[in-house]
């Protein structure tokens, strides 16, 4: 409700912000309608109108978000959302962060991310012509309509409060517990929302019945962007769980974690099959289906997270938007399905599969492994819901199931990461492949020998280390062989040769760098989950608890208070096998945090990070009279490699995404973008 | 406010969520306890096992497992004990009975069918001939076949 002052309407944050959302909704609706209608009826002169409407949507959505940040910053409690999450005592940085700390704000924030994606996409292809662009933009704008509608209606953060209070409760304490929580959600959102672009391109291709060569590279590059952000978001999320929740793990196959993993699996499979699409012109329908699936799964995942259908740690964002999401899921699912069935036949394969022993064959197997993985995770996640809804039977599908079922898929994927790059396109000659096998084979033996020497007994883990050695050697050879031949032929120095060979094939080079990061993660997951050592016990002051050669000495209890919580910590000193010590006292100690509105304390563990191992101690109970403390202590080998892989993934993705020279791209993409049908 | 005063009281005093917990059994039986703890669901947590969860309820449940193992119960008997109390929900690893079979068989079937499809993709065009560019439906179309025949004349 707007506050009416005299004859005019007072410009308040609420009015301005909500007005901008309505303008965005209007512009997106116009862009979607005109884009799709003119694209389907081949009225190409209307394209500038579509672009203009997209720019309007983007501008108004970005401005609406800035208005909200302004309102949060200046504590305007007459705005419903600010009244819900703001407080005067919140530090400035957390005032901005509270934009995504609760449901309505995070949906508004999604709107801004979508606006930025659409803005960048439209600007990048501002010279492209043809109905394909109209249709793609139309679909993306249709997604924008959904989000603008959510913000304007079911998840409206802008409702004006007539008699605002003078202060608010502040954002969810968990969000203020750890800096990772500041960047984990935006990374996930960037990944989720980024799926809109490949979805738009793929839908445009299906609607126009043609995917031209010029659009295959954009399709692949635009799927790398959400792939990267989603990877970062997932890893940061697991790091947060590890560093904050204190149960000594980073992945629990929780429905909310699975919700992020599902679109990641789809987009990763998609990234690989687009190579076959681009190179051989085949797998068109399958690839586009994966692109559509990645987007549908994103929305399904959001629904799982946001509607509260699963009772999980993240369900503090439960709300009324569930039904709206469910309708949207049905619409996009039916749309995608019908599109694939009706238009799929138009996409013909340019070249057949000659042999499974080929690059495309290995990518097909990779896609099969990812599809099986996707199916397993999806089935395991929704099966308890189905059982309960249909038969009123409550069952659990947890870690043992997911580990057992997904492990063969992960192993197959790791194997293919090594075999695939060794295979030529077309058909592999057995003796040529065998000749290449020497170096990677040696890598595999090193991996096997090292794991045996270090005492690995778990067969899955030994398999992972062996394959990791194999894949690492294949990948390093692919990375450095071109440089080596340049050094020999052109007498270039090693650095120049590497940079030049990389810049000649950026996507290939970047892809292999990403593979190296994934190998690191595979080894880290295998080592930290199979070779961890766990001890629990109660100790008095001065006594130690020994875990895998590390001594944890209890030095006494300490406590403190912060505005939003009080805490008690058990000061400890970690004594390493070599005799050196690390002191973890006060806020660095394993603690229990007591929040004002929660009866149960929230623990935070102590993590002593190391390149080769982490020492991890959780406080389970304490007694201040004795004084004594009960600890859960772990040593996790190599666990940090999971998060240290993030920079490698980023580096590889940036190399792959780096433009091949602006002029060349502009010349190629738009010129060929005119579909043959419309000529 | 009540919560805050409770929190302050706790800070000043103790926090022992459960009994201090039973002492671990000998290594062999303790390994069994942890293995069982991994597949049993903590009654009050978000899908964590009683071996993983730091919640007081989970500690108590793990102690129950210890007790049962110490009494000489088999793994199956321990799991049955928990199923009898909390229902099938207590098992993090679903059974293979009835509809649950789908969970275990579904992905395997998908993998096998997928492999067959990939192999059949190759076989169809294996003999080294030029692959047909037109889809099968068009090739079967008698009208198009006639047009082609006439064109080739």
Residues 74-103 of B with CB under 8 A from A: 87-94, 99-100, 102-103
Burial of A609 (0-12, 13-18, 19+ CB in 10 A): middle
**A621 phi, psi to nearest 5 deg:** -160, 155
pLDDT of residue B16: 57
pLDDT of residue A36: 93
- Is position A124 within any domain? yes
Alpha-carbon gap: A566 to the closest alpha carbon of chain B (Å): 7
Q: Which range scores top for mean pLDDT: A17-31, A33-47, A86-100, B6-20?
A: A17-31
Q: What percent of chain A has pLDDT over 70?
A: 92
> Which residues of chain B neighbour A529 with C-beta distances below 8 Å?
none
Alpha-carbon gap: B18 to the closest alpha carbon of chain A (Å): 8
**Cβ partners under 8 Å of residue B51, min gap 6:** B34, B37, B38, B40, B58, B62
pLDDT of residue A5: 44
Q: Lowest mean pLDDT: which of A144-158, A168-182, A531-545, A649-663?
A: A168-182
Alpha carbon distance A131, B107 (integer Å): 40
Q: Is the pLDDT of residue B130 over 50?
A: no
**What is the model's pTM?**
0.88
Domain architecture of chain B: domains with CATH? 15-90 (1.10.8.640)
Could you read off the pLDDT of B40-82 as tens digits, one per residue? 998 877 778 888 877 778 888 888 899 898 888 899 999 999 9
Structural domain ending residue among the three candidates A171, A193, A216: A171
E runs forming strands in A43-169: none
Alpha-carbon gap: A318 to the closest alpha carbon of chain B (Å): 15
Q: Which of A249, A355, A405 sits opposite B122 (nearest CB)?
A: A355
pLDDT tier, A407 (very low <50, low <70, confident <90, very high otherwise): very high
Determine, for residues A353 and B121 on separate chains, whether the beta-carbon distance falls below 8 Å: yes
Average predicted confidence (pLDDT) for chain A: 87
Q: Which of B15, B106, B121 sits opposite A375 (nearest CB)?
A: B106
- Is position A150 within any domain? yes
The answer to whether B44 contacts chain A (CB < 8 Å) is no
pLDDT tier, B18 (very low <50, low <70, confident <90, very high otherwise): very low
Determine, for residues A622 and B14 on separate chains, whether the beta-carbon distance falls below 8 Å: yes
The answer to whether A626 contacts chain B (CB < 8 Å) is no
Alpha-carbon gap: A603 to the closest alpha carbon of chain B (Å): 9
Q: Which helix (H) or strand (E) holds A604?
A: strand A602-604
Q: Which helix (H) or strand (E) holds B140?
A: helix B136-140
Alpha-carbon gap: B33 to the closest alpha carbon of chain A (Å): 13
- Is position A188 within any domain? no
pLDDT of residue A386: 83
- Is position A27 within any domain? yes
Could you read off the pLDDT of A652-662 as tens digits, one per residue? 999 999 887 54
pLDDT tier, B137 (very low <50, low <70, confident <90, very high otherwise): very low
Alpha carbon distance A366, A371 (integer Å): 8
The whole-number average pLDDT for the span A175-192 is 84
Alpha-carbon gap: A377 to the closest alpha carbon of chain B (Å): 10
Determine, for residues B118 and A368 on separate chains, whether the beta-carbon distance falls below 8 Å: yes
Nearest Cα residue to A439 out of A483, A412, A475: A475
CA distances B39 to A382, A432, B88, Å, are 19, 47, 12
pLDDT of residue A654: 92
The answer to whether B4 contacts chain A (CB < 8 Å) is yes
> Which residues of chain B neighbour A364 with C-beta distances below 8 Å?
118, 121
Q: Is the pLDDT of residue A518 over 50?
A: yes
Alpha carbon distance B96, B104 (integer Å): 7
Q: Is the pLDDT of residue A391 over 90?
A: no
Determine, for residues A601 and B15 on separate chains, whether the beta-carbon distance falls below 8 Å: yes
The whole-number average pLDDT for the span A603-617 is 91
pLDDT of residue A201: 92
* Distant-in-sequence contacts of A186-189, Cβ < 8 A, 24+ apart: A186/A100, A186/A109, A186/A113, A187/A229, A187/A230, A187/A232, A187/A233, A187/A236, A188/A229, A188/A230, A188/A233, A188/A234, A188/A237, A188/A260, A189/A100, A189/A106, A189/A109, A189/A110, A189/A113, A189/A233
Could you read off the pLDDT of A429-483 as tens digits, one per residue? 888 888 888 889 999 999 999 998 888 888 999 999 999 999 999 999 999 888 8
Alpha carbon distance B134, A104 (integer Å): 51
Alpha carbon distance A63, A76 (integer Å): 17
Structural domain ending residue among the three candidates A637, A652, A667: A637
The whole-number average pLDDT for the span B13-40 is 74
Q: Is the pLDDT of residue A56 over 90?
A: yes
- Is position A133 within any domain? yes
Q: Is the pLDDT of residue B17 over 90?
A: no
Q: Is the pLDDT of residue A643 over 90?
A: yes
pLDDT of residue A238: 93
pLDDT of residue A177: 67
A-to-B residue pairs, Cβ atoms closer than 8 angstroms: 168
Residue range(s) defining the domain that contains residue A98: 9-171
Identify the residue whose tokens are 């004795």. Answer: A626
> Which residues of chain A neighbour B111 with C-beta distances below 8 Å?
368, 372
Identify the residue whose tokens are 């259908």. Answer: A309
Q: Lowest mean pLDDT: which of A57-71, A99-113, A171-185, A210-224?
A: A171-185
The answer to whether A460 contacts chain B (CB < 8 Å) is no
pLDDT of residue A487: 86
Q: Is the pLDDT of residue A600 over 80?
A: no
Q: What percent of chain B has pLDDT over 70?
A: 65
pLDDT of residue A313: 41
Alpha carbon distance B65, B23 (integer Å): 12
Determine, for residues B7 and A355 on separate chains, whether the beta-carbon distance falls below 8 Å: no
pLDDT tier, A428 (very low <50, low <70, confident <90, very high otherwise): confident
Q: Is the pLDDT of residue A414 over 90?
A: yes
Rg (CA), chain A: 27
Could you read off the pLDDT of A226-236 as tens digits, one per residue? 999 999 999 99
- Quickly count: other Cβ atoms within 10 Å of residue B40's Cβ: 27
> Which residues of chain B neighbour A399 with C-beta distances below 8 Å?
38, 49, 92
Q: Is the pLDDT of residue A62 over 60?
A: yes
Tell me how many domains chain A contains: 2
pLDDT of residue B1: 40
Could you read off the pLDDT of A76-97 as tens digits, one per residue? 898 999 988 888 877 888 888 8
**Cβ partners under 8 Å of residue A79, min gap 6:** A13, A14, A17, A68, A71, A157, A158, A159, A160, A161
- Is position A618 within any domain? yes
pLDDT of residue A86: 84
Average predicted confidence (pLDDT) for chain B: 74
Strand partners for B99: none
pLDDT of residue A597: 62
Q: Is the pLDDT of residue A317 over 60?
A: no
The whole-number average pLDDT for the span A40-63 is 93
Instruction: Flag whether the ipTM exceeds 0.90.
Output: no
CA distances B98 to A391, A402, B102, Å, are 12, 19, 8
Per-residue DSSP letters for A526-588?
HHHHHS-EEEEEEEETT-EEEETTEEEEEEEEEEEEETTEEEEEEEEEEE-TTS-EEEE-GGG
Q: Is the pLDDT of residue B141 over 60?
A: no
Q: Which of A352, A372, A383 sits opposite B110 (nearest CB)?
A: A372
Structural domain ending residue among the three candidates A171, A197, A218: A171
Q: Is the pLDDT of residue B7 over 50?
A: no
Task: Work out whether strand A613-623 and strand A8-9 pair parallel, antiparallel, or are unpaired.
Answer: unpaired
- Is position A448 within any domain? no
Q: Is the pLDDT of residue A204 over 50?
A: yes
Determine, for residues B133 and A348 on separate chains, whether the beta-carbon distance falls below 8 Å: yes
Structural contact between residues A493 and A487, judged by C-beta atoms closer than 8 angstroms: yes
- Is position A182 within any domain? no
């Amino acid at each position: 409700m707007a506050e009416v002052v005299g004859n005019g309407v007072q410009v308040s944050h609420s009015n301005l912000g909500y007005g901008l959302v309505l303008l965005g909704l209007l512009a997106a609706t116009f862009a979607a309608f005109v884009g799709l209608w003119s694209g389907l009826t081949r009225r190409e002169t209307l394209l500038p109108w579509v672009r203009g409407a997209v720019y309007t949507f983007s501008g108004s959505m970005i401005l609406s978000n800035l208005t909200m940040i302004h309102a949060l910053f200046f504590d305007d409690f007459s705005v419903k959302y600010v009244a819900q999450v703001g407080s005067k005592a919140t530090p400035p940085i957390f005032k901005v962060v509270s934009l995504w700390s609760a449901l309505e704000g995070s949906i508004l924030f999604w709107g801004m991310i979508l606006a930025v994606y659409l803005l960048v996409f439209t600007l990048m292809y501002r010279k492209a012509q043809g109905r394909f662009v109209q249709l793609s933009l139309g679909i993306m704008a249709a997604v924008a309509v959904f989000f603008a509608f959510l913000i304007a209606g079911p998840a409206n953060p802008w409702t004006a409060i007539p008699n605002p209070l003078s202060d608010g409760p502040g954002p969810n304490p968990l969000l203020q517990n750890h800096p990772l929580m500041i960047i984990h959600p935006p990374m996930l959102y960037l990944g989720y929302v980024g799926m809109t672009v490949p979805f738009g391109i793929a839908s445009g291709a299906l609607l126009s019945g043609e995917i031209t060569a010029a659009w295959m590279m954009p399709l692949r590059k635009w799927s790398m962007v959400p792939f990267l952000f989603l990877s970062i978001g997932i890893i940061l999320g697991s790091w947060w769980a590890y560093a904050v929740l204190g149960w000594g793990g980073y992945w629990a196959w929780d429905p909310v974690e699975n919700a992020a993993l599902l679109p990641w699996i789809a987009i990763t499979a998609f990234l690989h099959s687009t190579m076959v699409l681009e190179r051989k012109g085949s797998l068109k329908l399958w690839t586009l289906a994966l692109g559509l699936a990645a987007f549908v799964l994103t929305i399904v995942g959001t629904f799982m997270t946001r509607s509260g259908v699963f009772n999980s740690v993240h369900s503090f964002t439960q709300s009324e938007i569930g039904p709206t999401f469910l309708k949207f899921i049905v619409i996009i699912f039916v749309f995608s399905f019908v599109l694939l069935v009706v238009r799929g036949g138009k996409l013909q394969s340019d070249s057949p599969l000659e042999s499974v022993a080929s690059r495309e064959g290995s990518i097909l197997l990779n896609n099969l492994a990812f599809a099986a993985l996707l199916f397993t995770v999806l089935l395991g996640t929704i099966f308890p819901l189905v059982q309960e809804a249909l038969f009123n039977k409550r069952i659990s599908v947890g870690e043992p199931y997911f580990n057992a079922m997904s492990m063969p898929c992960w192993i197959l994927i790791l194997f293919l990461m090594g075999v695939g790059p060794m295979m030529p396109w077309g058909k592999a000659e057995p003796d040529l492949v065998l000749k290449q096998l020497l170096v990677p084979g040696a890598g595999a033996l090193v991996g096997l020998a090292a794991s045996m020497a270090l005492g690995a007994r778990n067969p899955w883990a030994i398999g992972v280390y062996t394959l990791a050695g194999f894949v690492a050697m294949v990948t390093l050879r692919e990375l450095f062989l071109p440089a080596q031949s340049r050094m020999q032929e052109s007498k270039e120095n090693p650095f120049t040769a590497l940079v030049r060979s990389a810049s000649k094939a950026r996507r290939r080079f970047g892809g292999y760098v990403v593979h190296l990061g994934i190998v690191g993660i595979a080894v880290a997951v295998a080592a930290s989950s199979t070779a961890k050592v766990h001890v629990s016990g109660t100790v008095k002051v001065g006594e130690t608890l020994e875990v895998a050669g590390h001594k944890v000495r209890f030095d006494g209890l300490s406590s403190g208070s912060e505005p939003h919580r009080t805490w008690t910590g058990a000061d400890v000193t970690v004594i390493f096998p070599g005799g050196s010590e690390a002191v973890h006292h006060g806020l660095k100690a394993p603690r229990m945090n007591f929040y004002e509105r929660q009866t149960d304390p929230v623990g935070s563990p102590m993590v002593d990070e190391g390149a080769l191992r982490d020492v991890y101690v959780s406080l389970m109970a304490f007694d201040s009279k004795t004084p004594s403390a009960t600890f859960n202590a772990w040593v996790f080998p190599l666990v940090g490699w999971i998060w240290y892989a993030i920079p490698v993934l980023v580096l590889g993705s940036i190399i792959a995404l780096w433009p091949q020279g602006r002029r060349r791209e502009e010349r190629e993409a738009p010129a060929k973008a005119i579909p043959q049908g419309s000529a | 406010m009540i919560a805050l005063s409770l929190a302050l009281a706790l800070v000043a005093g103790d926090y022992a969520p459960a009994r201090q917990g039973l002492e671990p059994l000998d290594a062999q039986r303790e390994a069994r306890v942890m293995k069982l703890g991994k597949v049993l669901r903590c009654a009050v947590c978000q899908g964590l096992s009683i071996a993983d969860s730091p919640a007081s309820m989970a500690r108590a449940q793990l102690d129950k497992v210890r007790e049962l193992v110490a009494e000489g119960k088999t793994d199956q008997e321990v799991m049955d004990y928990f199923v009898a109390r909390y229902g099938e929900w207590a098992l993090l690893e679903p059974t293979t009975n009835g509809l649950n079979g789908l969970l275990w068989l579904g992905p395997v079937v998908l993998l096998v069918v997928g492999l067959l499809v990939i192999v059949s993709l190759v076989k169809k065009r294996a003999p080294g001939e030029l692959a047909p560019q037109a889809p099968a439906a068009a090739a079967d179309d008698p009208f198009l076949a006639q047009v082609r025949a006439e064109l080739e004349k």
